[in-house]
Chain A
Amino acid sequence: MEDVVIIGGGITGCSIARELSRYDIKITLVEKEEDVACGTSKGNSAVVHAGFDASPGTWKAKLNVAGNKLYPALCEELDVPFVLNGSLVVAVSEEEERVLEELLEKGRLNGVNNLRIIGKDELQAMEPNLSSKARAALDAPTGGLVCPYEFTIALAENANQNGVKFWLNAMVTDIEKLEDSGFLVKTSRGSLRAKYVINAAGLFADELSKIAGAEEYTITPRKGEYLVFDKQFSGLVKKTIFPTPSKISKGILVCPTVDGNIFIGPNSNNIQDKLDTSVKAPGIKEIIEGGKKLVPNLPFKNVITSFAGLRAVSNTNDFIIEASKQVKGFVNVGGIQSPGLTSAPAIAQMVKGILQDEGLILKEKPTFNPHRPMKKRFRELNNEEREQLIKQNPAYGHIICRCETVTEAEIIDAIRRPVGARSIDAVKRRTRAGMGRCQGGFCSPRVLEILARELGADKLDITKKGPGSNLLLGRIKEFLQVEGGDNNDN
């Protein structure tokens, strides 16, 4: 019997898992995908928002500002890069300048520190590549950047080190309230009994709440698409550049990443299918237009990839974080749309409080280790350090990804770590192998070989991102028709 089962291995579920792993309780996190951070937590703007955007008094506003403050220390503990680059909301008309004033006021009410409005000269000096139409901006120095999947994975690893079990490839299909006490959580990998169930299933939180017989709400997927540029344009903008926001979204930004790429996006369109993360031609057009308004000379010839993410928008348009009144022991953490990434550390603390209110007794574990030691990244070292490292472990001398300079040692580590990589994309998220300008053309056959070797698997069984996404479909000669044989399906 588990004390707590957490459904969903996104930033929300993993933050909660890591927070609860401080205490002497039994926890399992179940996730339908083959890895954590495969849902919305891998496709977003990666901005640790300052908190001036959400309406004062909402959970979004409160948890954003609280979460923002927790980030630097948390990233330090988990050895995840956090960049305090600051955000700018840019106005291009008088009308928009007025909106900046409103944002400034909202920000003050929300408790955001050091906000101010800056004029054209200061703005252009700060960001010389901005459109000449930019006439003023809201400067928010507490806005930051984090790599959302790296952070989610780090939380999962640290939770796992501290005793949380992870069931991957485990889709929750039913949640039964048991007569005596607790729940039976049925998954595609088997069933689990739990005293408390936390629903952090992102886009599917509404469906799970319904399955469990708890409060009903709806989640609508709202798609945002992005384009990523080659690293050689690193520095085109230094701060996160927002347009003046509209009623429904923060608009299309031009934003650096912690790894030195620049991206543009997202647009904002409601869709039907909760799994539709495809990028469409009209969407690409929309974000190109949007991006150009802020930074006219974007290097469109040097786009390296595109992606999309889905916001989980609830019918209340706010986060829904509460213990069910109908099903005791069931906690909803749904509707976690933007700024969900920023809010996650604060959401985790809030959920901890809710569980205590619901009767869960939390006793601190003396063995809790808040630190997740991360091995050094070869590309970030100087040459003496590299030399030393190769001496200790020759696999550091074997470069597998030429674009991002990732070595075999780092890939092996990604596979062997807690909650380790099992697919090409999982290796990519942990090491950046395949994320550079050749997009895996060079390294994917090599990563595949290392995965097969490390996992003791056949190369045919290695996938890009879990069941059904195998890279190779057969050995050569296998598809040739055998005369008189039964192999004649083509």
Chain B
Amino acid sequence: MITKELVVIGGGPAGLAAAIEAKKQGIKDVILVERDVRLGGILPQCIHNGFGLHVFKEELTGPEYADRFVKELEEMGIEVMLDTMVIELTQDKQIIAVNRDKGLMHIQAKAVILTMGCRERTRGAINIPGFRPSGIFTAGTAQRFVNIEGYMPGKEIVILGSGDIGLIMARRFTLEGAKVKCVAEIMPYSNGLTRNVVQCLEDYDIPLLLSHTVVDIHGKDRVEGVTIAEVDKNFQPIHSTEKYISCDTLLLSVGLIPENELSKMADIKIDNITSGPVVNQRMETSIPGIFACGNVVHVHDLVDFVTMESQLAGRGAVDYLKDKIPSKKHITVSPGPGIGYVVPQLIDAEKILDGKQNFFMRSKKPMEKARLFIESDKGQIRTRILQHIKPSEMINIELKKEELVNKDIKSLRFFLQEEGATDEK
């Protein structure tokens, strides 16, 4: 049995930032465990730029962004185990990890930070009919083949879903001489960042077909084509609009799901909407001393927010290790009309760090202009006008500690009202 003060599971941007922060705040005995052969999580395959605008005030590529943290981690002498997969986690913070050299390891941690990231939704999850040939890839898997391994999984491509990875891959494939025939999106709006729609599709004349989906896949051995159709308001395909498009590859960019197998093993409470653990102001899960941050909690579109959230988790773990006093007197935070989810879901106002608390949330639908209401059971706290709201772009709201503390608040709710629309809550 190995004992450690803090074990960080996952070496993506979340794990890196959390480990570094914990070490900076004085925890000596930190280990980071990563199943891949390299650190950085999803970032090493994201060779496009657009990372770090908030944290470093410059535009880096994914590998560059990761590299800054990896260097810092190395300089600080934080212990790392690569090519090592955590296969079990218990409530008592016992971890089982395996690799080739050391075999099966039992690690007893005093605190744990979960940063396992997320996985991509698949064809089955969205139930696309048709044959099951070769040539159907999730966008992230295709990205790995192209950017890490140097192989092209397709030449004539249709992309289903306008998530960011799909958009980025549309451009990447085009630059590599493949033909991206279209991106079909079932919603009436894009699911990716506006800048990606512009820079990855419009700049390359790739059509974005909104309110469209794939209704059939053709080809017995390799994909030969797909049938797409427009959908009605209830997302049902309209048969008269069916159209055959020949292609050899179907890329799926239909969403990400936080990867919480380990969290579930430890009976950590999961939020049904985010599919990630319920966390409090310091990113602590329902089990004291087990923290979570990054995509394992909720899917982020900007890595900068992952970093911020993870630094918070790192500090949270340090506080826990120092005083061991669990948070109590929680304010429950919930989404109201117009808002899909809010993280964190619980707040102990007295323990808010640095006098301010960030809340991350997503709108349910796009709105040109809306008013965000922040309301507690004791009355309204604040409202704020927001412009160009899209579900794909996370809203980040900062509240001051004074706004929440010593008011005996039990619940907090965020909701959106489209400007001009009538009163509805």
Q: In the complex, which residues of chain B have a beta carbon less than 8 angstroms from the beta carbon of A387? A: 103-104
List CB contacts (< 8 Å) of B269-285 with chain A: none
Of the listed stretches A67-75, A339-347, A396-404, chain B binds A396-404
- B100 proximal to A (CB < 8 A): yes
**Distance, CA A303 to CA B121, complexed state (A):** 11
**Distance, CA A399 to CA B99, complexed state (A):** 8
Inter-subunit contact B87/A305 (CB<8 Å):
no
- B410 proximal to A (CB < 8 A): no
- A439 proximal to B (CB < 8 A): yes
Interface size on B, residues (CB 8 A): 54
Inter-subunit contact A438/B144 (CB<8 Å):
no
Contact A476:B124 (CB < 8 A) given known A390-B100, A469-B133, A490-B177: no
Can you list 28 A-B contacts with CB-CB less than 8 angstroms, sorted by A residue number?
A278-B129, A278-B131, A278-B132, A280-B129, A281-B215, A284-B127, A303-B124, A305-B123, A383-B104, A386-B98, A390-B98, A390-B103, A391-B103, A397-B102, A398-B83, A405-B87, A439-B123, A441-B120, A441-B140, A445-B149, A460-B151, A468-B222, A469-B133, A469-B221, A474-B152, A475-B150, A476-B151, A479-B152
A130: min CB distance to chain B, Å: 24
- B155 proximal to A (CB < 8 A): yes
A323: min CB distance to chain B, Å: 34
Inter-subunit contact A397/B98 (CB<8 Å):
yes
- A473 proximal to B (CB < 8 A): yes
**Distance, CA A305 to CA B136, complexed state (A):** 13
CB-nearest residue of chain A relative to B138? A441
- A132 proximal to B (CB < 8 A): no
**Distance, CA A479 to CA B151, complexed state (A):** 11
A400-436, CB under 8 A of B: which get 1 and which 0? 0010010000000000000000000000000000000
List CB contacts (< 8 Å) of A454-490 with chain B: 459-460, 463-481, 490
**Distance, CA A468 to CA B106, complexed state (A):** 45
Q: In the complex, which residues of chain A have a beta carbon less than 8 angstroms from the beta carbon of B220? A: 275
- A214 proximal to B (CB < 8 A): no
Inter-subunit contact B129/A480 (CB<8 Å):
no
- B122 proximal to A (CB < 8 A): yes
- A395 proximal to B (CB < 8 A): yes
B47: min CB distance to chain A, Å: 11
A427: min CB distance to chain B, Å: 14
Contact A479:B177 (CB < 8 A) given known A305-B124, A387-B103, A397-B101: yes
CB-nearest residue of chain A relative to B105? A387
B24-61, CB under 8 A of A: which get 1 and which 0? 00000000000100000000000000000000000000
- B369 proximal to A (CB < 8 A): no
CB-nearest residue of chain A relative to B179? A490
Q: In the complex, which residues of chain A have a beta carbon less than 8 angstroms from the beta carbon of B245? A: none
List CB contacts (< 8 Å) of B153-200 with chain A: 153-155, 176-179
- Candidates A391, A395, A397, A471; contact of B153 at CB < 8 Å: A471
Inter-subunit contact A490/B151 (CB<8 Å):
no
Inter-subunit contact A445/B145 (CB<8 Å):
yes
- B421 proximal to A (CB < 8 A): no
- Candidates A468, A470, A472; contact of B145 at CB < 8 Å: A472
Inter-subunit contact A473/B122 (CB<8 Å):
no
Interface size on A, residues (CB 8 A): 58
- A307 proximal to B (CB < 8 A): yes
B243-264, CB under 8 A of A: which get 1 and which 0? 0000010000000000001001
Q: In the complex, which residues of chain B have a beta carbon less than 8 angstroms from the beta carbon of A279? A: 129-130
Inter-subunit contact A476/B150 (CB<8 Å):
yes
Inter-subunit contact B141/A306 (CB<8 Å):
no
Inter-subunit contact A439/B131 (CB<8 Å):
no
B222: min CB distance to chain A, Å: 6
- A277 proximal to B (CB < 8 A): yes
Inter-subunit contact B155/A469 (CB<8 Å):
no
Inter-subunit contact A303/B155 (CB<8 Å):
no
| Further pairs besides A228-B124, A395-B100: 8, Cβ < 8 Å | A283-B129, A304-B125, A383-B104, A437-B119, A442-B141, A468-B221, A471-B134, A490-B177
- A119 proximal to B (CB < 8 A): no
Contact A438:B129 (CB < 8 A) given known A480-B176, A490-B155: no
A392: min CB distance to chain B, Å: 10
CB-nearest residue of chain A relative to B141? A441
A487: min CB distance to chain B, Å: 9
List CB contacts (< 8 Å) of B89-111 with chain A: 96, 98-104, 106
A131: min CB distance to chain B, Å: 23
CB-nearest residue of chain A relative to B175? A480
- A128 proximal to B (CB < 8 A): no
B250: min CB distance to chain A, Å: 13
Q: In the complex, which residues of chain A have a beta carbon less than 8 angstroms from the beta carbon of B152? A: 472-476, 478-479
A217: min CB distance to chain B, Å: 26
Q: In the complex, which residues of chain A have a beta carbon less than 8 angstroms from the beta carbon of B129? A: 278-281, 283-284, 306
- B85 proximal to A (CB < 8 A): yes
Q: In the complex, which residues of chain B have a beta carbon less than 8 angstroms from the beta carbon of A475? A: 150-152
Q: In the complex, which residues of chain A have a beta carbon less than 8 angstroms from the beta carbon of B99? A: 397-398
- B78 proximal to A (CB < 8 A): no
CB-nearest residue of chain B relative to A385? B104
Inter-subunit contact B141/A473 (CB<8 Å):
no
- B146 proximal to A (CB < 8 A): yes
**Distance, CA A288 to CA B160, complexed state (A):** 24
Inter-subunit contact B151/A480 (CB<8 Å):
no
B286: min CB distance to chain A, Å: 18
Contact A470:B151 (CB < 8 A) given known A281-B129, A303-B124, A399-B35: no
- A64 proximal to B (CB < 8 A): no
List CB contacts (< 8 Å) of A254-296 with chain B: 275, 277-281, 283-284
Contact A473:B176 (CB < 8 A) given known A306-B124, A399-B85: no
